[in-house]
Amino acid sequence: MQQEIVFQARGLTKVYSMGEVKVHALKGIDLDLYAGELVVLLGASGSGKSTLLNILGGLDTATAGHVNYHGRDLTVANDRELTDYRRHHIGFVFQFYNLIPSLTARENVGVVTEIARDPMKPEEALAIVGLGERLDHFPAQLSGGEQQRVAIARAIAKRPAVLLCDEPTGALDLATGIIVLEALERVNRELGTATVLITHNAEIADMADRVIYLRDGLITEIRKNEEKRAAGSLKW
Amino acid sequence: MKGQALAISLVIASGVATFIMSRSTHDSLERTQAAFYQETRFAELFATLKRAPESLRQRIQSLPGVDVVETGTLADVKVDIEGFADPVRGILVSLPENPEDGLNRLYLRAGRFVDPRRDDELIVSEAFAEAHTLRPGDGLYVVINGRRKHLRIVGVALSPEYIYQIAPGDIFPDYKRYGIFWMARRALSTAYDMEGAFNNLSLTLSAQAQEAEVIERIDDLLESYGGLGAYSRENQLSHRYLSEEFRQLERMAMIFPIIFLGVSAFLLNMVVSRMVGTQREQIAILKAFGYSTTDVGLHYIKLVIVIVIIGVGIGLICGVWLGRGLGGLYMEFYRFPFLAFELRPGTIVTAALVSIAAALLGTIFSVRRAAGIAPAEAMRPEAPAIYRETFFEKMGLKRVLSQPSRMIARHIERRPMKSFLSIIGIAMACAIMMVGSFQEDAIDYMVDIQFGRAQREDLAVTFVEPTSRRALYDLENTPGVQYGEPFRVVPVKLRFGHRHYRTGIQGIESGGDLQRLLNKDLNVIALPASGIVLTEYLGKRLGVQPGDTLTVEVLTGSRPHREIQVAAFVSQYLGVSGYMELSALNRLMREGNAISGAYLAVDKAYRTQTFAALKEMPRVAGTTIRESAIKSFYETMGETLLIFTFINTILASTIAFGVVYNSARIMLSERSRELASLRVLGLTRGEISYIMLGELGVLTLAAIPLGFLIGWRFCKVISDNLQTDLYRVPLILESSTFGFAATVVLISTFVSGLIVRQHLDHLDLVAVLKTKE
Ligand SMILES: Nc1ncnc2c1ncn2[C@@H]1O[C@H](COP(=O)(O)OP(=O)(O)O)[C@@H](O)[C@H]1O
Ligand SMILES: [Mg+2]
């Protein structure tokens, strides 16, 4: 499988300083991410998963090292460039759905499609995650799983190159979690969106093309799954 | 939080400062007045008469209730100052042999008392001396009983009788053209043929005296000596003006702080409850640790009390500072020799209590609501708020609104009460701005109407005594005089039932062009051929209606009492008076064609010649120049009032800013999570600012018209309460007042927006994602 590289991280380091104390969240990460693949980032709480994802997504900046995205170095980008990068290239899904409560499902997606360059229709994005019927519901009228799927629809509606998901099932029960994972699987398969999925649940790793293990701010192992399991067959 | 707390403190401070400033200014002035009266032994009853032998003094002294009696001589004089062409007049008052004794003592500001044996020494009132930069050693000419005499100034003084130095019949003080002068009694008596006699009487009463009874007895005694009727302090010109002004100040000192404290209390309440509302999670944590609702409540109450106390502290310091400053200013204006600053403990306590009570009310309510939630529930993410499509969207506007605009519309509509309160808060801020500047408009308007439509003469000339109508022709033949209209003034006491009022009846000819009467709509009305026309304010004071019959007690001559019907009311912003057709007034007096003076229209080009000619006329006692009267009004009274207003405007601006800024900060804390999410999705700083500041902008724009409405109400309350004998402040609001209030609110919004924008630019995107709502 010789594919186009989307991200290339080299020597990525992140140090948080809180007064006297310095926390080394990332201690030198080298990582390549290929177009269209589904990667699961696995690691204990505090191992640096979110930090890595945030830097890849242009929400945070690295202390040292470089991240290359399609030839751009994110580590030297300013706020305007990072905003533009998030706006057109990256889709985010978080544990807490972060929907805008005052907007309907359709409008939550619309927030993104209004400003994207080549978006799909909000209805289309919602259909992909199986919410074609609940377009005009407000977040308050949707279940947790449904809200998360709206968040996924919102993330993919701009047809991003990369979808970054930080524990998207963390706040959901098993059955709902699986529906959400199925939606992500479908997006990855049908749209070919490179997807990075953070979890501390080893079971979920089975649905990935590659699994990256993180411990204490370092990659300890990168494993290729010979055989991907369908999200629907997972259990935990 | 810190900025917000400070802004709240400033709002309280402004309210408290207004309160302390107004109260202490008023209390200080009253104390100063009392202290000055006591030190100079200001008399309690006064009377002027034509001439009575000094022996009468004994009989007055022996009247029951009379304590100390002092007699003297008064004379109206014309004064000439080198290098000053305008006519100047004044009163020449006799000084007793021992001026440091007796009643109405002079308070020397410079120089010395006159030598009782000399007839060429003079003391001048301080206001007059300052207006002409006269000092002891300087000289001036006084026309004494027709003879022009050079007098040397030996002293400058203040008198309790002439604190408010205004010519009788004038509306505004004019220090340059009206002065008080003191001379040795012997010299004055000689000049006016008053040796062994007096024409002026002052006295104090003993503790149990019945004032009305004493007045009656004195009037009986003086009747055959041409008495003009004794009167108490409340009718003494200077004291009466002073009390009117103090009364007005006192009302301002009530109304302004009530509005300011009220508004700041309301805002405090609003801000505190919203602030506590954003602390839901902290409250839950505290409760999870085992703190009771009361404990949590106390925590916030302490916090709020600290904020309030800081505010009250700042307000107290500023208020005292402003009160002293303003007191000092009034002191100079009224010419008290010292200011006895007074800050009553009750004033401080009231300000503090009102502020604390308002804050506590707001806090307790919202803390109880926040702390009443079970800890587990509060720590769970708050269920997403329920939104609906707004009315406007349903009307079909939806298609034109972008998602951010829909967010704004729905935020505002979702919590109509909260949006409404924000609007009210900003509107209040706008309203008190109007309160600050409305009086300026009103004063301009008052002067405009009074002198543009009613009193349009250039000069008002008063004769030494009522004269034949033919004297008018002499005036009309004076160089520069275009034409004149005669008038007659009769000092009277108007009585209706048990109410009475001392004033003058002005007789004028109907159809005149210089003196005109205005109805409610400020249109010129014709003077009825019979009956009396009253200033509406006077009518209300007496409780009469047109058609009722009044008793007129004439205070001169044979002091007849007559009945007369009230023909109509007229509107007048300045002064209080009764008007009659000149011939009707003369008929009432059973006198022939007498006039007391004339209103003149003159050609400005001949000003100097006109004044010179008038000075030469022995019959002319004084001349009032309209233009300089208006000017002196703006220079003195207007300025004093406007400084009060100016300070209030600054305090109002502080409140306006504090409110808008707090609304913006609260909005920021309520929205920051949502806005950070949008930033994550790739919205720019500008785009999220639009959502946040758009809402603030919409609320502000909605608040301004409402603010105009509330402001208009506030101004009406003030205008209704500024109805005094001196003037009635009309409810006049110029567009500049609206514009100014709106501008300050908009600038506050803009600056708050900039500050909030700073915060938006530094939103921590990552932190927001880690926490639940
Ligand atoms: N804003 C921050 N300030 C200080 N330390 C942080 C911050 N964010 C994360 N950390 C620390 O960095 C380390 C990695 O955190 P994170 O990337 O969130 O781990 P994970 O997502 O794997 O649980 C942890 O030790 C965490 O405490
Ligand atoms: Mg994490």
Tokens of B518: 């205005």
Closest atom, ligand 1, to C-alpha of A53:
17
Q: Looking at beta carbons, which residues of chain A come within 8 Å of B757?
A: none
Residue B231, strand partner residues: B46
Mind listing the pLDDT tens digit for each residue in B443-480? 788 888 888 888 889 999 989 888 998 888 988 998 99
Residues B769, A140: C-beta atoms closer than 8 Å: no
> Do residues B503 and B576 make contact, with C-beta atoms less than 8 angstroms apart?
yes
Residue B53, strand partner residues: B197
> Do residues B659 and B11 make contact, with C-beta atoms less than 8 angstroms apart?
yes
Work out whether strand A218-224 and strand A210-215 pair parallel, antiparallel, or are unpaired: antiparallel
Ion ligand 2: residues, CB within 5 A, are A 50
Mind listing the pLDDT tens digit for each residue in B150-198? 999 999 999 999 988 888 777 778 888 899 999 999 999 999 999 999 9
Rg of chain A in Å (alpha carbons): 17
Under the banding of pLDDT at 50, 70 and 90, the label for residue B623 is confident
Closest chain A residue by Cα to residue B761: A79
Q: Whose CA is nearest to atom 18 of ligand 1?
A: A50
**What is the average pLDDT across B398-413?**
79
Alpha helices in B141-181 (DSSP H): none
User: How many angstroms is it from A210 CA to the middle of ligand 2?
Assistant: 19
Distance in angstroms (rounded) separating the CA atoms of residues B511 and B489: 18
More confident residue, A120 or B670: A120
**What is the average pLDDT across B208-213?**
89
Q: Residue A39 is which amino acid?
A: V
Q: Which of A23, A40, A167 to mutate to test the pocket of ligand 1 (most atoms within 8 A of CB)?
A: A23
Q: Looking at beta carbons, which residues of chain A come within 8 Å of B772?
A: 96
Residues A100, B770: C-beta atoms closer than 8 Å: no
Q: Which of B420-424, B536-540, B680-684, B694-698 has the lowest mean pLDDT?
A: B420-424
Mind listing the pLDDT tens digit for each residue in B625-679? 888 878 877 776 666 667 777 777 787 788 778 877 887 887 887 788 888 888 9
For the cut 60, the answer to whether the pLDDT of residue A148 exceeds it is: yes
Counting beta carbons within 10 angstroms of the beta carbon of residue B604, is it exposed (0 to 12), middle (13 to 18) or buried (19 or more)? exposed
Sheet holding B231-232, edge to edge: B66-72, B197-205, B45-53, B231-232
Distance in angstroms (rounded) separating the CA atoms of residues B579 and B86: 29
Residues B765, A98: C-beta atoms closer than 8 Å: no
Closest chain B residue by Cα to residue A58: B680
Residues A92, B681: C-beta atoms closer than 8 Å: yes
Closest to B624 (Cα-Cα) out of B604, B597, B605, B603: B597
Closest to B553 (Cα-Cα) out of B228, B235, B233, B241: B228
Ligand 1 pocket residue status of A50, Cβ below 6 Å: yes
Closest chain B residue by Cα to residue A163: B681
Q: What is the DSSP letter of B526?
A: P
Nearest to B678 among A111, A141, A147 (CB): A111
Closest chain A residue by Cα to residue B398: A107
Give the number of whichever ligand sits closest to the CA of residue A214: 1
> Do residues B435 and B652 make contact, with C-beta atoms less than 8 angstroms apart?
yes
**What is the average pLDDT across B91-112?**
91
Under the banding of pLDDT at 50, 70 and 90, the label for residue B203 is very high
Q: Whose CA is nearest to atom 24 of ligand 1?
A: A46
Counting beta carbons within 10 angstroms of the beta carbon of residue B750, is it exposed (0 to 12), middle (13 to 18) or buried (19 or more)? middle
Closest atom, ligand 1, to C-alpha of A45:
23
User: What angle (nearest 5°) sits at the alpha carbon of residue B662, between those of residues B660 and B668?
Assistant: 105
Query: First CA to last CA across chain B, in angstroms?
Result: 19
Q: Which of A56, A84, A98, A108 to mutate to test the interface with B (most CBs of B within 10 A)?
A: A98
The predicted pLDDT at position B430 comes to 87
The predicted pLDDT at position B727 comes to 74
Alpha helices in A90-234 (DSSP H): 105-113, 122-128, 144-156, 174-191
User: How many angstroms is it from A165 CA to the middle of ligand 2?
Assistant: 10
> Do residues B89 and B236 make contact, with C-beta atoms less than 8 angstroms apart?
no
Q: Which of B105-119, B313-327, B750-764 has the lowest mean pLDDT?
A: B750-764
DSSP element (H, E) containing B88: strand B84-95
**What is the average pLDDT across A4-25?**
90
Ligand 1 pocket residue status of A44, Cβ below 6 Å: no
Distance in angstroms (rounded) separating the CA atoms of residues A35 and A6: 6
Looking at the complex, does the CB of residue B765 fall below 8 Å from at least one CB of chain A? yes
The predicted pLDDT at position B159 comes to 93
Residue B533, strand partner residues: B568, B579
Ligand 1 pocket residue status of A217, Cβ below 6 Å: no
Residues A101, B674: C-beta atoms closer than 8 Å: yes
Our measurement of the distance from residue B162's CA atom to the centroid of its chain's CA atoms, rounded to an integer in Å, reads 20
Work out whether strand B74-81 and strand B459-468 pair parallel, antiparallel, or are unpaired: unpaired
Q: Which of A10-19, A127-136, B2-11, B640-649 has the lowest mean pLDDT?
A: B640-649
Q: Report pTM.
A: 0.73
Ligand 1 pocket residue status of A46, Cβ below 6 Å: yes
Nearest to B681 among A86, A96, A141 (CB): A86
The predicted pLDDT at position B314 comes to 92
Closest atom, ligand 1, to C-alpha of A48:
17
Distance in angstroms (rounded) separating the CA atoms of residues B37 and B119: 29
Nearest to A96 among B410, B682, B772 (CB): B772
SS3 (DSSP) at A162: strand
The predicted pLDDT at position A105 comes to 93
The predicted pLDDT at position B772 comes to 55
Nearest to A103 among B386, B403, B773 (CB): B403
For the cut 50, the answer to whether the pLDDT of residue B741 exceeds it is: yes
Q: Whose CA is nearest to atom 7 of ligand 1?
A: A16
Work out whether strand A90-94 and strand A162-166 pair parallel, antiparallel, or are unpaired: parallel
Counting beta carbons within 10 angstroms of the beta carbon of residue A225, is it exposed (0 to 12), middle (13 to 18) or buried (19 or more)? middle
Q: Which of B80-94, B114-128, B250-264 has the lowest mean pLDDT?
A: B250-264
User: How many angstroms is it from A42 CA to the middle of ligand 1?
Assistant: 15
Mind listing the pLDDT tens digit for each residue in B18-43? 888 888 888 898 899 999 999 999 99
Q: Give the minimum alpha-carbon distance from A110 to chain B in angstroms, rounded to a whole number.
A: 7
Q: Give the minimum alpha-carbon distance from A100 to chain B in angstroms, rounded to a whole number.
A: 6
Mind listing the pLDDT tens digit for each residue in B490-545? 989 899 989 988 888 999 998 889 999 988 888 888 889 889 999 988 999 899 99
Nearest to A98 among B402, B677, B682 (CB): B677
Closest chain A residue by Cα to residue B772: A96
Ligand 1 pocket residue status of A23, Cβ below 6 Å: yes
The predicted pLDDT at position A1 comes to 47
The predicted pLDDT at position B380 comes to 53
Interhelix angle B403-414/B685-721, nearest 10 degrees: 40
Nearest to A98 among B403, B406, B769 (CB): B769
Residues A96, B410: C-beta atoms closer than 8 Å: no
Q: Looking at beta carbons, which residues of chain A come within 8 Å of B411?
A: 102
The predicted pLDDT at position B638 comes to 65
For the cut 70, the answer to whether the pLDDT of residue B1 exceeds it is: no
Closest to A180 (Cα-Cα) out of A162, A165, A190, A193: A165
- The dihedrals phi and psi of B396, each to the nearest 5 degrees, come to 105, 5
- Other CB atoms closer than 10 Å to residue B767's CB: what's the count? 11
B residues 663-722 closer than 8 Å to A (CB):
673-674, 677-685, 687
How many inter-chain contacts (A to B, CB under 8 Å) are there?
93
Q: What is the ipTM of this complex?
A: 0.90
Mind listing the pLDDT tens digit for each residue in B566-610? 999 998 887 788 999 999 999 988 888 889 999 999 998 888 889
Ligand 1 pocket residue status of A21, Cβ below 6 Å: no
More confident residue, B639 or A125: A125
Q: Give the minimum alpha-carbon distance from A2 to chain B in angstroms, rounded to a whole number.
A: 31
Beta-carbon contacts of residue A99 (< 8 Å; ≥ 6 apart): A108, A139, A147, A150, A151, A154, B384, B677
Q: Looking at beta carbons, which residues of chain A come within 8 Å of B766?
A: 50, 54, 59-60
**What is the average pLDDT across B46-51?**
92
Q: Residue B596 is which amino acid?
A: S
Distance in angstroms (rounded) separating the CA atoms of residues B191 and B187: 6
Number of H helices, E strands in chain A: 6, 10
Closest atom, ligand 1, to C-alpha of A17:
4
**What is the average pLDDT across B410-427?**
80
Residue A42, strand partner residues: A199, A213
**What is the average pLDDT across B196-213?**
92
Residues B765, A59: C-beta atoms closer than 8 Å: yes
> Do residues B67 and B61 make contact, with C-beta atoms less than 8 angstroms apart?
no
For the cut 90, the answer to whether the pLDDT of residue B71 exceeds it is: yes
> Do residues B765 and A86 make contact, with C-beta atoms less than 8 angstroms apart?
no
Closest to B122 (Cα-Cα) out of B177, B164, B80: B80
Distance in angstroms (rounded) separating the CA atoms of residues B563 and B549: 6
Q: Looking at beta carbons, which residues of chain B come within 8 Å of A99?
A: 384, 677
